[in-house]
Amino acid sequence: MRGYTVLAALIALVMLLSGCGGKDESTVTVFLMGQNGAPDGMAEQLKEKLEASLGQDLKVEFNVSSIYNNQKLLLEYAGAMNDLIILPKQDMLDYGKQGSNVPLDDYFNKSDYAEGVFEGGVERKSGDEQTELKQETHLYGIPVSDLKLFKDAGYTPEGLFVTIPASAGNVERSVQVIHAMMN
């Protein structure tokens, strides 16, 4: 019970701190947490290649967790500071069912990324203008192993996906970064 209290306090603290300061509108923040962590120096290598591809209009900031930690991932979702999250498939499925990921069908061909298609929660307005969570099948994640950026970096672990959290500041910018990861 004490653990849940501490976790709740940490989430509240992250949410409070996330309201402080401001995020540059031209910066897309990417959080990366692999099942086995990520190699040292990976963030800087990915950032340099992405920014070269995106040009002056968009900047990319990578936050990489060197170890896998469920509580850290929860805090990253709750903190609402990331525009893209790269995470293991099972976590994507779990958070997706709760409505935490943006459907990507309007931006990518879901038949090209069948591994990222699953039933997840989508907020829909009901008749009385209240919002309810409906389970719908959509494309919610793109496998990292299909992205040129990660192939070129030599980092393509199976079962790792890039997804857009529902709290992303600007979905269009996030999609633009995923497209840059593909080319």
pLDDT at 177: 95
CB-based burial of residue 159 (10 Å sphere; 0-12 exposed, 13-18 middle, 19+ buried)?
A: middle
> In the chain, which residue ranges form alpha helices assigned H by DSSP?
2-18, 42-54, 70-79, 89-97, 148-153, 171-182
pLDDT of 127 > 80? The answer is no
What count of other Cβ atoms lies within 10 Å of the Cβ of residue 52? 9
Instruction: Flag whether pLDDT at 80 surpasses 70.
Output: yes
167 against 16, higher pLDDT: 167
Tokens 């099948």, residue?
137
Q: Does domain 2-182 have CATH number 3.40.50.2300?
A: no
Token pair in block for residue 128: 């009385």
Q: Using the predicted structure, report yes or no on whether residue 92 has a pLDDT greater than 80.
A: yes
Residue 41's pLDDT is: 82
DSSP letter assigned to residue 113: G
Kindly report which listed range (28-32, 42-46, 83-87, 145-149) carries the lowest average pLDDT score.
42-46
Say what the pLDDT of residue 57 is.
81
pLDDT at 82 (0 to 100): 93
Residue 120 CB burial class (10 angstroms; 0-12, 13-18, ≥19): buried
Q: How confident is the model at residue 37 (pLDDT cuts 50, 70, 90)?
A: confident
Q: Cα(74)–Cα(84) distance, rounded to whole angstroms? A: 14
- Residue-level pLDDT at 1: 57
Q: Are 155 and 92 in contact (CB under 8 A)?
A: no
How many other C-beta atoms are found inside a 10 Å radius of the C-beta of residue 48? 11
Q: What pLDDT is stored for residue 36 in this prediction?
A: 84
Q: Is the pLDDT of residue 74 over 70?
A: yes
* pLDDT value for 11: 54
Q: How do strand 27-32 and strand 59-64 relate by DSSP bridges?
A: parallel
pLDDT value at 112 more than 90: yes
